[in-house]
Amino acid sequence: MSLLEIALHKSFVCAGMLLTMACSLSSSVMAQSGHVNPWEKKDIGKLPPIASLTEGMWLKGDLHLHSRHSTESSNNPISKIVAFSKSVGMDYIGITDHDNHVNGDVAHHTWVDPEFKTDSLLLLYGAEWTTTRGHGNTFSAKPYDHQQLYDVRDQRDVITAGVKKKLGIHLSANHPSGKDHFGYSYDMIESIEVWNSAIWPKNANAIMIWDDMLSSGRKLTGRGGSDAHHGVPDSPEKATKNSVQATANYVGTPTTWVFAKTRTLQGVIDALTNGRVSVSANPYAPRVEFYADLNEDGKMDMMMGDNAKSTGKVVRFQVQLSGNTLPDATYTVNVVKNGGSFATFQATGKLPVVEFTDTPVTGKRSYYRVTIEGPQTAYPQVPGSMALSENMVALSNPICFNFDPNF
């Protein structure tokens, strides 16, 4: 081979190499253009039909209470909690004693206490799961093996979530922005404590977390819980330094309303899981109900907690206050859409009603929820609670559009 031939051959090889490189480059570009992102949003398909808006009943209760089986409590046997709850018209309560005080064995402490029995007052089976990663409340219609959940408290979320699922219980994040906040995955829970105790202002960050969870597609129910630990002492000498709390934060501060199909433990839990729930400052404060008319026929088609597909049509929303509204009071109705402020209205009268319209976008998630501010209805049995709740009277759960039930 001559020098020229060698040079030509080399350049040919080079050209060939370049060609090959160019070919492989263009084939990889081609492969990339054919790439399909498996996480691309798909149509969520048909959603389950919305349950009846009339077949059911409003039940009120408190979902976070500590009895004498929590060692941090004082003057608060179950009998006292039950008697008080009945006296203020509660339909259900969740006594959620700290499981770490009994090494996870709530079944042989709180639940077998002779004072723990469901009659006219429904008593949920539950506990406050008290772990180094924070607190969560459990709720169940029947006794379950809570020890198993206690045993996996330090395991990885995937294991803990599996045990929780197997037990078939409702798990709820407690005081999410407070001390001992829920430090596990929010994918393993059904609800979140957005209103903990009578002290309203400390819940602002909990509401923000709730909005973030809703915005990311987690349809979590917002609920309340007084987290009351202390009862009124039976005699002055039984008073502790915490006894003063009983007059400011006790059963019903706040009160969680659920629209249950049946007056049963399972009825309460199902409503709680589905989000047909609102929270009021106390058992005598007005209850907020939130509905939507999807086809402008004047008939409401869904309520808070419900999820429908948006059709591109105008939706008429209705907010109403029921129960003990103060006849001369003006209530402020704040509408939150997708975590941001949407509108504000003033409402007065015996049964104040506010209506507004909007067109939820098609093919994307959106949600609407309301808060009610105004003067507090008196709660003479827990007089100190009124000032602590400031202007917050009630809040609703969201009405949802295009939420994926298989999130």
Residues making contact with Zn ion (CB under 5 A): 128, 135, 174, 227
Look at the block and give the residue holding tokens 């003033």: 346
Residue at shortest CB range from Zn ion? 135
Report in angstroms how near the CB of residue 72 gets to Zn ion at its nearest.
Answer: 9
Q: Which C-beta is closer to Zn ion: that of 68 or that of 135? A: 135
Report in angstroms how near the CB of residue 393 gets to Zn ion at its nearest.
Answer: 24
Q: Which C-beta is closer to Zn ion: that of 175 or that of 219? A: 175
Q: Which C-beta is closer to Zn ion: that of 66 or that of 164? A: 66
SS3 assignment, position 233:
coil
Q: Which C-beta is closer to Zn ion: that of 249 or that of 310? A: 249
In this structure, is the dihedral angle defined by the CA atoms of residues 108, 92, 114 and 67, taken in order, positive or negative?
A: positive
Own/partner pairs for 1-9, CB < 8 Å, 24+ apart? none
Report in angstroms how near the CB of residue 324 gets to Zn ion at its nearest.
Answer: 28
Alpha helices (runs of H) in 52-181, residue ranges in sequence order? 78-87, 146-151, 157-167
Q: Residue 306: which H helix or E strand, with range?
A: none
Tell me how far apart the alpha carbons of residues 247 and 224 are, in angstroms, rounded to a whole number: 18
Report in angstroms how near the CB of residue 39 gets to Zn ion at its nearest.
Answer: 35
Tell me how far apart the alpha carbons of residues 173 and 184 are, in angstroms, rounded to a whole number: 9
Tell me how far apart the alpha carbons of residues 72 and 303 are, in angstroms, rounded to a whole number: 39
Report in angstroms how near the CB of residue 167 gets to Zn ion at its nearest.
Answer: 20
Tell me how far apart the alpha carbons of residues 212 and 22 are, in angstroms, rounded to a whole number: 47
Q: Which C-beta is closer to Zn ion: that of 126 or that of 360? A: 126
Q: Which C-beta is closer to Zn ion: that of 186 or that of 356? A: 186
Report in angstroms how near the CB of residue 138 gets to Zn ion at its nearest.
Answer: 12
Q: Which C-beta is closer to Zn ion: that of 99 or that of 128? A: 128
Report in angstroms how near the CB of residue 186 gets to Zn ion at its nearest.
Answer: 17
Report in angstroms how near the CB of residue 333 gets to Zn ion at its nearest.
Answer: 31
- Helix H, strand E, coil C: the string for 248-297 is CCCCCCCEEEEEECCCCHHHHHHHHHHCCEEEECCCCCCEEEEEEECCCC
Check: CB of residue 116 under 8 Å from CB of residue 96: no
Report in angstroms how near the CB of residue 32 gets to Zn ion at its nearest.
Answer: 50
Q: How many angstroms separate the Cα of 223 from the Cα of each of 191, 265, 272, 372, 394?
A: 7, 16, 8, 15, 11
Peptide bond into 49 cis (omega under 30): no
Angle (nearest 5°) at CA 95 between 89 and 98: 155
Q: Which C-beta is closer to Zn ion: that of 131 or that of 140? A: 131
**What residues contact 272, with CB distance under 8 A and at least 6 apart?**
63, 139, 170, 190, 191, 221, 223, 256, 258
Tokens in use for 322?
């029921």
Rg (CA), the chain: 27
Q: Which C-beta is closer to Zn ion: that of 222 or that of 352? A: 222
Report in angstroms how near the CB of residue 66 gets to Zn ion at its nearest.
Answer: 6
Report in angstroms how near the CB of residue 181 gets to Zn ion at its nearest.
Answer: 9
Q: Which C-beta is closer to Zn ion: that of 174 or that of 307? A: 174
Q: Which C-beta is closer to Zn ion: that of 99 or that of 227? A: 227
Alpha helices (runs of H) in 49-156, residue ranges in sequence order? 78-87, 146-151
